[in-house]
Structure 1
Amino acid sequence: MKGCLSVFLVCLFFSCTNKEIVKNQAIGEALGTSYNIIYLMDEEVDYRKEIDSVFAVVNQSLSTYIPTSDISRINKGETTIEVDHMFREVFELSKEIHEATNGYFDPTVGNLVNAWGFGPEKQIVMDSAKVDSLLKYVGFNKVNITHEGIIEKEDSNIYFDFNAIAKGYAIDRVAVMLNDKGIQNFLVEVGGEIAAKGTNVVKNKPWVVGIDDPEATGDRELKLLINLENRALASSGNYRKFRVDSLTGKKFVHTIDPITGYTKDSNTLGVTILAENCAIADAYATAFMAMDLDVAFKLISSNEKLEAYIVYLDDKGETKEFLTSGFKEVVSK
């Protein structure tokens, strides 16, 4: 399950700064959150209908919150649905990341997400026996997609939940749409996850975005600013998305460890990933939240295609930061 460590756009635009450049902006609601999309052109153009259309088709394929979507029908046991290219792309990318993270990214964790109270289906009271009973339905090695686009499951009760990658994928699809229209400079932000192309030509500088401080207790505070150009960014954290049991008062975070089946309450406060596209960044940010810190550091160090920023607590309870060398290079001075 995915939660977003919010990232704010901190770019300010003044259309009179450069009369040759028009700041086109689309703001709205999609995927259970808000979006803010900026595309800079030499004319005023409104692509909101096209943008909303992208979100609609992705939802119809991958949203577990829409009863008639392909994924919902597959989760209910239908076996003859031929999924579209979006479902296939997300499925195949999920399989790659599942293998690369040694199972810490696993979209078959859906039954556990629901049971712990973070999905569209009924929450249940969990104990070790129920966790064990649901773990038998978890494992991306237990599912397959045929050449014809039919999903095969070892057990019909396996429940897909692509929410930890679908938002990033939807952002990528909007970016593809804008790119196909020949737009050279744009920034797509949905619920704090971002894909950027080109630069902020209004200000003649890179796109600048801010990353939240996961320890801020009141109003949101920025931890740092980074320059984003021709890359994507996604963040995950437990500090905002959790639930508290009304009877016991116990706090349950939204990150589910697909290995143990339990919610993961660790020393990791927030993870931000830079990658070539937002789907990849989205999935890895979730996976690293589910891992112990030493495992996350090892995997990040071995993956040359990812840059990471991790805020965590050390053994003494003191806040520490880990930045890969590539992430340090994009921190705004």
Structure 2
Amino acid sequence: MMNLKRLLIFMIIPALLSCSPPESLQRFAGLTQGTSYHISFWKPGVDSTALKQQVDQELARLDKLLSNYRPDSVIEQFNAFSKSEPFEVGEEFVQLVKKAQQVSKKTDGCYDITSKPLFSLWAFNTDHPVKPADDALQQTQQRIGYQNLEIVDATHLRKRLPQLEIDIASIAQGYSVYRIGQILLQNKIENYLVEIGGELETRGQKPGNKPWRVAIERPLPGQTRLHKILTIKRHDAVAVMTSGTYRHFFDQNGQRFSHILDARTGRPVTHNTVSVTLIHDDATIADAWSTALLCVGAEKGLAIANQIGIAALFITQHDGETLTEQSSQPWRQLSDIIIQ
């Protein structure tokens, strides 16, 4: 999916900080969607080679459905369709769009999967991003808007603007993590950690009833430092998703521009929130909300998270200081997830 958010900005590092016997915890890894994936699991007698083949087949299927970088994908065929007639994308695709649009509404359009033309205008999909001219930005703004993407029925979408284009990378990677988790469950594996491009889901525990531990990186450009540790004692699935501004940006005339765009203005966000980590039982929802809350920033994001019951961790930098804030009530309900 070539998700620049995932490739370059922020990594949640699956940290197996307390070692387990190598014969008990099995691992394999690979490449997908322009990034890497890592899977750790615990179940005696599993053929990890056959399991990896199943995982790779599912990731290839999702790539063909959701990736913007390949013209034969379903999403790019929809983007190339410049008519207002219903276009069949399949039930799976429609459900992802429905979830994304729900998040768009709650952020007043700051988060918007129809913003693909804006990313192209700012050239964030290249190695040489650049600030666009104001008139070009104004014209591009006329081509976006989640309200212009209509869900016709369970399998069809319709464009209200012929030039509308979408990019659901901000939700698709979380969905991919969920789908791989489902494959592991189908193989009766109930203790695992699945990570794709830094986005992850855990279930169960490590051998010896030891909890999964996940390290969250301190948001420093060009550096990798530990900021927080999550100790996950919950048996059911837990998704940990993070978005950040500090890995993919560019400087022009003394001004820094993040690749996190506010669709309402067409411009990079200007607040001081540099990353958002989100804990949720639905990896797809967690992925979308981590981007959306970063878009609106900590002040508005905390209010939204508390209102709808989302456990979110905001990291803000101001005058050289790094501040951490958490949504209140949702975190207090997570007694089986410890943040240190």
TM-score w.r.t. structure 1 length?
A: 0.89
CA-CA distance at 1:112 after TM superposition: 0.2
Question: Following superposition of structure 1 onto structure 2, how do residues 82-161 of structure 1 map, counting pairs within 5 Å?
Answer: 82-119=88-125, 126-147=132-153, 149-161=155-167
Stretch deviating more after TM superposition (147-156 or 26-35):
147-156
Taking only aligned residues, the RMSD between alpha carbons, in angstroms, comes to 2.4
Match of 1:60 in 2: 64
Q: Cα distance, 1:332 vs. partner?
A: 4.6
The alpha-carbon deviation at position 13 of structure 1 amounts to 4.3
The letter for the 1-side match of 2:42 is L
Partner deviation per Cα, 1:182-224 (whole Å, 9 max, x = no partner):
2111110111111111111x14222110000003x55411101
Q: Which runs of 5+ in 1 are unaligned?
A: none
Q: Which amino acid aligns with 1:261?
A: G
The answer for the alignment partner of 2:230 in structure 1 is: 226
Taking a change above 3 Å as real, the CA distance of residues 78 and 25 of structure 1, as seen in their structure-2 partners, is farther
Give the distance between the partners of 2:5 and 2:172, measured in 1 at CA. 10
Name which of structure 1's ranges 22-31 and 62-71 shifts more when overlaid on structure 2.
Answer: 22-31
Task: From the superposition, tell whether residues 218 and 256 of structure 1 become closer, same or farther in structure 2 (CA, over 3 Å).
Answer: closer
Aligned residue for 2:25?
A: 23
1:291 partner SS? helix
SS in 1 for 2:88: coil
Q: Could you tell which deviates more after superposition, 267-276 or 135-144? A: 135-144
Partner of residue 324, structure 2: 321
Is 1:259 the counterpart of 2:264 in the alignment?
yes
Asked if 1:271 is matched to 2:273, the reply is: no
- One-letter code aligned to 1:322: E
**1:331/1:178 Cα in 2 relative to 1: closer, same or farther (>3 Å)?**
same
Write the distance in 2 (CA, Å) between the matches of 1:136 and 1:269. Answer: 28
Tell whether 2:315 aligns with 1:308: no
Q: What is the one-letter code of the residue matched to 1:296?
A: G
Per the alignment, do residues 120 and 163 of structure 1 end up closer, same or farther by CA in structure 2, a change over 3 Å counting?
farther
Q: Is the 8 Å Cα contact of residues 309 and 323 (structure 1) preserved in structure 2?
A: yes
- Deviation, structure 1 residue 235: 0.4
Query: Does the CA-based 8 Å contact 1:13-1:23 persist in structure 2?
Result: no
TM-score for the superposition, normalised by structure 2: 0.87
The secondary structure found in structure 1 opposite 2:30 is: strand
Asked whether 1:184 is paired with 2:186, we answer no
Letter in 2 for 1:54: E
In structure 2, what is the Cα distance between the partners aligned to 1:148 and 1:270? 34
Segments of 5+ residues of structure 2 without an aligned counterpart are none
In 1, Cα distance between the equivalents of 2:274 and 2:255?
18
CA drift of 1:293 comes to 3.0
Deviation at 1:148, TM superposition (A): 5.8
Query: What's the offset of the Cα at 1:24?
Result: 2.4
Alignment match, 1:10: 15
> Structure 1: how far apart are the matches of 2:126 and 2:61?
19
**159-168 vs 73-82, greater mean Cα deviation:** 73-82
2:90–2:156: 8 Å Cα contact kept in structure 1? no
* Change over 3 Å in CA distance of 1:232–1:146 after alignment to 2: same
Cα offset, 1:124, TM superposition:
7.0
Post-superposition CA distance 1:241-295 (Å, at most 9, x none): 12345xx465321101011110113200111011112111111111111114321
User: Matched residue pairs, number?
Assistant: 323
Structure 1, residues 137-168: CA drift from partner, whole Å, max 9, x if none? Answer: 22111111222623211111111011111111
The answer on whether the counterparts of 1:309 and 1:327 sit within 8 Å (CA) in structure 2 is no
